């Protein structure tokens, strides 16, 4: 026996959003840092960022600066120095250059690579690639320990007439005869 099967079809309306989704692509183009720095003192770093994708829109983000012993960025072990905000959007193929001073932590010495992490908090989370957001200066920065301070006592003045149990004023001066500041 042959069974009759009824098949019914109904049309389903599908709406397609034809508005293209925008994907910015922030890319770290260059990092410039000095070849020498001193522990406990500031150094200047300059970096350039380009948007190789669609507009970011009117969004803000920050770029974070790190010191690393090697050429591999590791947020958990590299030394965070600080950040600089980028306010406002970035159009396609537009770029910006930042220059800022950061301090090398006291007691550090040896070679370090200066890393920049563009959009350090991932505020532009819809980027086409996050792989090009980080980079470092091409040469390591040799950090030297700061020379010690040389504190020298100057004039000491004691009162001519002092009595036991009575407060007296003693004045003195101290000067630093080194080029390094005393913290």
Average pLDDT in the chain: 87
Q: Which residues contact 18 (CB under 8 A, 6 or more apart)?
A: none
pLDDT value, residue 70: 97
The confidence score (pLDDT) of residue 168 equals 83
Cα gap 90→17, rounded to integer Å: 25
Residues in the chain predicted with pLDDT less than 70, given as ranges, are: 1-22, 180-183
Question: Could you give the C-alpha distances from 28 to 118, 120, 123, 131, in angstroms and in order?
Answer: 7, 12, 16, 10
On whether the pTM is more than 0.75, the answer is no
């Amino acid at each position: 026996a042959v069974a009759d099967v009824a098949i019914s079809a109904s049309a389903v309306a599908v709406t397609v959003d034809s508005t293209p989704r925008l994907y910015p692509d922030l890319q770290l183009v260059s990092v410039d840092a000095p070849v020498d720095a001193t522990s406990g003192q500031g150094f200047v770093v300059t970096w350039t960022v380009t948007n190789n994708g669609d507009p970011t829109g009117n969004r803000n983000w920050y770029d974070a600066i790190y010191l690393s012993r090697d050429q591999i960025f590791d947020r958990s072990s590299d030394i965070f120095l600080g950040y600089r905000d980028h306010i406002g959007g970035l159009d396609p193929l537009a770029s910006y250059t930042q220059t800022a001073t950061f301090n090398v932590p006291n007691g550090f010495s040896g070679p370090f690579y200066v890393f920049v992490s563009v959009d350090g908090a991932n505020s532009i989370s819809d980027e086409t690639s996050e792989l090009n957001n980080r980079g470092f200066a091409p040469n390591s920065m040799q950090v030297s320990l700061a020379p010690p301070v040389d504190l020298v006592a100057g004039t000491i003045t004691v009162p001519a007439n002092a009595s036991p149990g009575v407060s007296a004023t003693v004045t003195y001066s101290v000067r630093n005869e080194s080029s390094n500041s005393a913290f």
